[in-house]
């Protein structure tokens, strides 16, 4: 009695006008098909089969989740597609059939569809629509509103009366394995499009005394498929709005919920405040009382309690400790590990920098491949010269060191604890603990020097 999913994803998606197979177009950074698979995985399905055709190789290479692949080399219709994906399906399985280009169906909706399945009953996702153009119409006996479902008629095969039916087929079916296996074989292609219609399954099931239970989505967008980039953008907004809503319900203040994008996951504490145009990519975590200024981008970033990230900062693959003060205009490139109470000011770029408690890099600096101990003060314009053109080298700065402005630290190099480096120095050798080290040409004044004057 296993739950099995078959996802149809062989279609071309002509209206996307793209080289990329439609189901690989990203929504919130994840391919459309990836969303459907993730929802399926959340149902504890014991197997997910994806039927692919157009761009099959690329689809298989791109999708990272563990699924079974089936090939449909010619797109002869939705029933034909399902037939390619039947391997391993058992009579007593509960099978959910869905599309790889409908990304936002709730798991709870799928679950309700699975729950109605028995040997005598199947599920069909339907929706009453203002404009059902293009959708298969749900045919009910006796009464078009309340009568039992007896079949589906495709738009192109429908009579004018049938076209007036406003209940549309959303394309998701749940059914016992034995019915799927036996009835699919009976579907022909004698219809307006010469295709094997999956929708014919409904009439055949009814002939075999299987009751068709209509399940409705909670929200219409759950059943929206992507056929064009316009529809893709619309669903992206729906998804982002849903995520923003969940954040606010979870204790996050959003200055404008419509100007936030999460492409991945965002774990958060309470009393977090996020200003406009924040983008979170990959897996991000922010603690309690974190404040984020406008126009910041975070990629796999972790931010500790009480930290402020000011406007226009970018944090990638890095960890910021508690009570930090970052930006504005700071860039933390991959591999930064900031302890607590660290200050990274404007126009500072850091990469693979491990920075100790209370250290400050306040202005216009590059700190790469560096280890700064506690309470280090790095003056404006300091550069770690970490690259000799071939290899990267490390700069190590001891606790309490003070690096004067406009210093070049030529790595590999070590600055001792409590050392002071005079402004404008080029430090290529170890600077000892507790002393002033300076490399600076002696300042001279030329007595009696005069500015040149213009010749006439
Ligand atoms: C289908 C339904 C229709 C429903 C509509 C929207 C049929 C016959 N019709 O129509 O009742 O209202 O979806 O949910 O099923 N696909 C394949 N191989 C094929 C054909 C299609 O993998 O040979 C895939 C497509 O990639 C797509 C999905 O099946 O993801 C639906 O195909 P599509 O051609 O869009 O079906 P519709 O004509 O919209
Ligand atoms: Ca379609």
- Which residues touch 415 (CB under 8 Å, ≥6 apart)? 395, 396, 397, 398, 401, 403, 409, 421, 427, 430, 431, 437
Going from the Cα of 42 to the center of ligand 1, the distance in angstroms, rounded, reads 24
pLDDT at 1 over 80: no
Ligand 1 pocket list (CB less than 6 A): 8-11, 51, 72, 75-78, 80-81, 99-101, 135-136, 152, 154, 168-171, 197-199
- Fold of the 251-437 domain: UDP N-Acetylglucosamine Acyltransferase; domain 1 (2.160.10)
18-59 pLDDT, tens digit each: 999 999 999 999 999 999 999 999 998 999 999 999 999 999
Delimit the domains of the chain by residue range: 3-223, 251-437
Going from the Cα of 13 to the center of ligand 1, the distance in angstroms, rounded, reads 11
Give the number of whichever ligand sits closest to the CA of residue 223: 1
Mutate which of 169, 171, 187 for ligand 1? The one with the most ligand atoms within 8 Å of its CB, which is 171
Going from the Cα of 170 to the center of ligand 2, the distance in angstroms, rounded, reads 9
Smallest CA-to-CA distance from 96 within 36, 138, 53 is with 36
126-153 pLDDT, tens digit each: 999 999 999 999 999 999 889 999 999 9
Mapped onto helix, strand or coil, the DSSP state of residue 168 is strand
Write down the pTM of the prediction: 0.94
Q: What is the pLDDT of residue 216?
A: 98
Give the angle subtended at the CA of 107 by the CAs of 111 and 97, to the nearest 5°: 65
Q: What are phi and psi of 206, to 5 degrees?
A: -60, -40
DSSP letter for each residue of 108-167: HHHHHHHHT-BTTEEEEEEEE-S--TTSPEEEESS-TTTSPEEEEE-GGG--HHHHT--E
Give the number of whichever ligand sits closest to the CA of residue 10: 1
- Tell me which CATH homologous superfamily contains domain 3-223: Spore Coat Polysaccharide Biosynthesis Protein SpsA; Chain A (3.90.550.10)
Mean pLDDT confidence for 410-424? 98
Query: Residue whose CA is closest, atom 13 of ligand 1?
Result: 171
Neighbours of 65 (CB within 10 A): 12
Gyration radius of the chain over CA positions: 31
Q: What is the pLDDT of residue 144?
A: 87
227-244 pLDDT, tens digit each: 999 999 999 999 999 999
Where in the sequence numbering do the catalytic residues fall? 363
Ligand 1 atom with the shortest distance to the CA of 136: 11
Give the number of whichever ligand sits closest to the CA of residue 71: 1
Going from the Cα of 227 to the center of ligand 2, the distance in angstroms, rounded, reads 7
């Amino acid at each position: 009695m296993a739950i099995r999913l078959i996802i149809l994803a062989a279609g071309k998606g002509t209206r996307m006008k793209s080289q990329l197979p439609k189901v690989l177009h990203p929504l919130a950074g994840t391919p459309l098909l990836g969303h459907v698979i993730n929802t399926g995985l959340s149902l504890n399905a014991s197997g997910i089969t994806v039927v692919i055709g157009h761009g099959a190789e690329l689809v298989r290479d791109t999708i990272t989740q563990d699924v079974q692949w089936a090939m449909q080399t010619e797109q002869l219709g939705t029933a034909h597609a399902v037939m390619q994906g039947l391997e391993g399906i058992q009579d007593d399985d509960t099978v959910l059939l869905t599309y790889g280009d409908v990304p936002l169906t709730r798991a709870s909706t799928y679950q309700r569809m699975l729950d109605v399945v028995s040997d005598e009953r199947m599920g069909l996702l339907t929706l009453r629509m203002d404009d059902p153009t293009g959708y298969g119409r749900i045919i009910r006996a006796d009464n078009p509103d309340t009568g039992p479902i007896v079949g589906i008629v495709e738009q192109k095969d429908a009579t004018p009366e049938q076209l007036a039916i406003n209940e549309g087929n959303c394309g998701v079916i749940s059914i016992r394995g034995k019915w799927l296996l036996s009835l699919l074989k009976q579907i022909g292609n004698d219809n307006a499009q010469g295709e094997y219609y999956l929708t014919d399954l409904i009439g055949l099931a009814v002939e075999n005394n299987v009751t068709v239970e209509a399940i409705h989505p909670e929200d219409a967008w759950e059943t929206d498929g992507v056929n064009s980039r316009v529809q893709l953008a619309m669903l992206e907004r729906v998804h982002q709005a849903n995520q923003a809503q969940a954040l606010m319900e979870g204790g996050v203040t959003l200055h404008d919920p419509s100007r936030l994008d999460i492409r991945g996951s965002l774990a958060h504490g309470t009393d977090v405040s996020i200003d406009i145009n924040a983008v979170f990519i990959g897996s991000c975590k922010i603690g309690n009382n974190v404040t984020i200024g406008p126009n910041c981008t975070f990629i796999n970033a972790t931010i500790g309690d009480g930290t402020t990230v000011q406007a226009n900062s970018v944090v990638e693959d890095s960890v910021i400790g508690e009570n930090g003060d970052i930006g504005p205009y700071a860039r933390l490139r991959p591999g930064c590990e900031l302890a607590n109470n660290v200050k990274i000011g404007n126009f500072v770029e850091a990469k693979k920098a491990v920075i100790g408690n209370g250290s400050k890099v306040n202005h216009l600096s590059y700190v790469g491949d560096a280890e700064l101990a506690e309470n280090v003060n790095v003056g404006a314009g300091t550069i770690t010269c970490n690259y000799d053109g071939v290899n990267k080298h490390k700069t190590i700065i001891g606790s309490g060191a003070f690096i004067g402005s406009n210093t070049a630290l030529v790595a590999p190099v070590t600055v001792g604890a409590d050392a002071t480096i005079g402004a404008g120095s080029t430090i290529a050798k170890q600077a000892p603990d507790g002393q002033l080290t300076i490399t600076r040409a002696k300042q001279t004044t030329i007595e009696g020097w005069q500015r040149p004057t213009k010749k006439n």
